[in-house]
Structure 1
Amino acid sequence: MKQSHYRALLSLGLPIVIGQIGVIILGFADTIMVGHHSSTELAAASFVNNMCNLAIIFSTGFAYGLTPVVGRLFGEGNKEKTGEVLRNSLSANTLLALIVCGIMYALYLNLHRLGQPEELLPYMRPYFIVLLLSLPFVLWFNAFKQFSDGITDTKVSMWMLLGGNVLNIIGNYILIYGKLGFPELGLLGAGIATLASRILMVAAYLVLFFFTARYKPFRVGFLAGKTNKEDFSLLNRLGWPIAAQMGMETASFSLSAIMVGWLGSTELASYQVMIAVSQVCFMMYYGMGAAVSVRISNFLGLHDFANIRRIANTGFRIILVMIACTSIPIYLLRNDIGGWFTDDAAVSLMVAQVIIPFLLYQFGDGLQINFANALRGIADVRPMMLFAFIAYFVISLPLGYLFGFTLGWGITGIWTAFPFGLTCAGIMYYLRFRYKVKTLGNKLLNEYPHFT
């Protein structure tokens, strides 16, 4: 049985991980191309990307509320109802897109009040607006992705992400540097390429869903169903706590970017390089965590709590191996990584200085990703909001200010705070998961003493 869990998680998770690697490559390509065009634009991209990533991760967390619902319905064989739930999810994500875009536009209007270097604002503003226009397409894509992942069709989102990111990288090359007769747009060109690729990925999912035979049973439910209060409420009950948890985690990095901006443009550029590196690890771990969530939701429908525990533990073991595989080469290449992204020697030196605190939080990051997804699989999401608030707002951000400014450690001090927050979050999620699974198992035995 243990071997079957490894095989099943790898079968589900590897396509998600490969798709996430496509996102990672895109992040690297964006940072490298912009960095070699101008270190000033790299610093501007750092701030805007961190603000927009906060909105994207928050919105992605909301979409994750669809996964356990789809996983349970798919396990029951109710494909038409699954399609109806997708319809409700798209409606909920559209409403969220309006809210998020309104908040981000208000942030855009106040960019000059956030204490960032004055010379960056002319680069920040147009790039920010283009990324803002792309946010609704991110939310719609997320809804389709969580649907296809929930029905264990993880290869679809893998190919969508890889294809979209290839187009994005090609668009970056053409528009940043002004190739094939296009004007040289620099950072703005990177934003336009991102917008175009996100539109095309949603269009590809629409074609696949509405015009192929493989999704016909789900399409019937999607077209015949309606946006109903019951499904809409369920998706919101699950989605908002996950969005809040993931949003607070990302906010600890995004708000830290604001603090880094107080230190100067060089520090902000190095922060962007390290964020690009950190996404390598985060996205890979999260791909496996998503597989843990899907598998656990399937076994939850069977009330098999012994295997639910085994899946969570197996997933964490796989993530530990992934941590070793990413951390060792990053450490060995610590003096070279900065040079991949920019020709600025000061930025490269600063990147090398923050590699150690970055590596220190990998265990905590893997722990919190695995057991956060395990909790999503059993639809126990509300306590995660409190745990995330404690880990990131009570622990991580205050320590970042203490280490970075009060103690005078600068950007290294800000990065040193992250291991404390992420590890505390992982421990709290693990303890909650263990308690909840034990409680659910005991409740089942009390209600059905002869259940096996």
Structure 2
Amino acid sequence: MNLAQYKNEFSRNFQLAYPVILGMLGHTMISIVDNIMVGKLGTTELAAVSLGNSLIFIAMSVGIGFSTAITPIVAQADASDNKEEVRSAFHHGLFLCLALGIMLFLIVFVSKPLMYLMHQPEEVINMASPFINWVAFSLIPMVVFQGYKQFADGLSLTKYSMYAVIFSNVIHIFLNYMLIYGIWIFPKLGILGAALGTVISRLSMVAYMHYILSRNETLTMYFQDFSFNQIKKSMLKKITALGLPSSMQMFFEVALFTAAVWLSGSIGKTSQAANQIALSLASMTFMIAMGLSVTAMIRVGNQKGLKDYKYLQTVAKSIFVLALVVEIVFAGLFVLFHQQLPHLFLNMENITDLADNSEVIAIASKLLLVAALFQISDGIQVVVLGALRGLQDVKFPTIITFIAYWIVGFPISFYLGEYTDLKATGIWIGLLAGLSTAALFLCLRFNYLARKLIHNNGQ
């Protein structure tokens, strides 16, 4: 494929990707706003939010991963002009997302004792517990929102979720500021205020998403006759067959990063706070790759529906190259500003916490150098996963991600973090190893399937 073909595809990719990227950044901003605002209260508060969000993110990854099954089904049916299939996928997907959201809330709620088993600082656990209760409840509207989002994404209507997330972030920032610090008529609730801000903003997000989608005249047919009588086992099985492995893929990765949080906590609260700062910054750049991953899922799903497998390969490769270029640029920025970026999260004017904060910044600066490398691998693996989901190939990639993250990545993180002087930096070297392994073998998997489709269909 020549450079001109890449350029043409880049334009189409960005049109689909930028609303998704902004929407994903909006999701990340909820935790980043929590970290920045709570970080001003003290190192213990920041570590508590980090610990609490680590449990929440595991559950959220399962919900988001499962919901991605809706997009390729809708994209393929839409390209084939099968409106009944689109409608069925939407209704069944929403039903499953609601059930899953409730289940995830209950699981997180009863899983809080795990924090004691992971040898986390007691003062951090005591502060994190009430925070977890409220943010866990926000998983219900969050996963339901994903059902709406994946449906719209499958129809290439990626801007709707962006509008909803921006709307919810405005509410979240306002409520956080008022409730954390006790501004105006609002009580001063500390990190509990951050939790309440998250709950209310996510409820408003799903309400807004329903409103703007249901008022679109071209989508009216999909919002009629919601009924449990129309729930069919065949579609439930189809979505679950795609959604369960996809949720496991995200679970394996997020659980690895959560393990990094817990390993950092076992080293000390400064390492844990530094880990959260570096992870927050890396998560922002990762959202660019996530947006491109959704684009890959949509466009590959469309071409599968049209059965144009040669162009499918062209589209996918253009997205892979785009992701690689973007992540290399961000890696350079992390290297250039690795000493300045951590200052955004801490109040260095607080004399009481000056020693702890200085140590946090020193550790976080080193972690950002490792993050500069691993985000390249992270970006590639998530974009290729999106293309594989577009092909509805999910089982083999699940095995790849498990081996990469838990057979390769975690043992390295554990050994270097617990038994060497590298400590927190060693933990992140393990993350880099796991992500790089995943990126390599997922690329090989997609290459194999794309060539097989082209060969079998004589293209």
Out of 338, 353, 356, the residue aligned to residue 342 of structure 2 is 338
**CA displacement at 1:161 relative to structure 2:** 0.9
Alignment TM-score, normalising by the size of structure 1: 0.95
Asked if the contact 1:46/1:272 (under 8 Å) is kept, the reply is yes
1:71 equivalent in structure 2: 75
**CA displacement at 1:23 relative to structure 2:** 2.8
1:427 equivalent in structure 2: 440
- Give the root-mean-square deviation of aligned CA atoms: 1.6
Out of 32, 55, 72, the residue aligned to residue 28 of structure 1 is 32
1:242 equivalent in structure 2: 246
Asked if the contact 1:116/1:258 (under 8 Å) is kept, the reply is yes
Asked if the contact 2:275/2:367 (under 8 Å) is kept, the reply is no
2:280 equivalent in structure 1: 276
2:317 equivalent in structure 1: 313
Q: Does 1:18 align with 2:31?
A: no
**CA displacement at 1:157 relative to structure 2:** 0.6
1:394 equivalent in structure 2: 407
Distance in 2 between the 1:67 and 1:388 partners? 21
Distance in 2 between the 1:401 and 1:111 partners? 17
Specify the SS of the correspondent of 2:111. Answer: helix
Distance in 2 between the 1:316 and 1:197 partners? 33
1:81 equivalent in structure 2: 85
Residues 242 and 295 of structure 1, relative CA distance in 2, 3 Å threshold: same
Deviations 1:133-161 (A, max 9, x none): 11111110000000011101101011111
Which moved further from structure 2: 98-107 or 246-255?
98-107
> Following superposition of structure 1 onto structure 2, how do residues 158-173 of structure 1 map, counting pairs within 5 Å?
158-173=162-177
Asked if the contact 1:281/1:323 (under 8 Å) is kept, the reply is yes
Q: Does 1:205 align with 2:209?
A: yes
What runs of 5+ residues in structure 2 fail to find an aligned partner?
A: 348-356
Identity of aligned residues (%): 28
Distance in 1 between the 2:178 and 2:89 partners? 40
1:354 equivalent in structure 2: 367
Asked if the contact 1:339/1:345 (under 8 Å) is kept, the reply is no
Which moved further from structure 2: 19-28 or 422-431?
19-28
Out of 148, 151, 154, the residue aligned to residue 155 of structure 2 is 151
1:449 equivalent in structure 2: none
Out of 405, 425, 433, the residue aligned to residue 418 of structure 2 is 405
Distance in 1 between the 2:32 and 2:210 partners? 28
Residues 222 and 71 of structure 1, relative CA distance in 2, 3 Å threshold: farther
Specify the SS of the correspondent of 2:112. Answer: helix
**CA displacement at 1:2 relative to structure 2:** 4.0
**CA displacement at 1:256 relative to structure 2:** 1.6
Alignment TM-score, normalising by the size of structure 2: 0.94
1:252 equivalent in structure 2: 256
Distance in 1 between the 2:376 and 2:342 partners? 23
Task: Look up the equivalent residue of 2:282 and give its one-letter code.
Answer: S
1:448 equivalent in structure 2: none
Task: Look up the equivalent residue of 2:123 and give its one-letter code.
Answer: E
Aligned residues: 446
2:132 equivalent in structure 1: 128
Task: Look up the equivalent residue of 2:409 and give its one-letter code.
Answer: S
**CA displacement at 1:338 relative to structure 2:** 1.5
Task: Look up the equivalent residue of 2:404 and give its one-letter code.
Answer: A
Specify the SS of the correspondent of 1:247. Answer: helix
What runs of 5+ residues in structure 1 fail to find an aligned partner?
A: 446-451
**CA displacement at 1:212 relative to structure 2:** 4.3
Asked if the contact 2:21/2:291 (under 8 Å) is kept, the reply is yes
Residues 229 and 274 of structure 1, relative CA distance in 2, 3 Å threshold: same
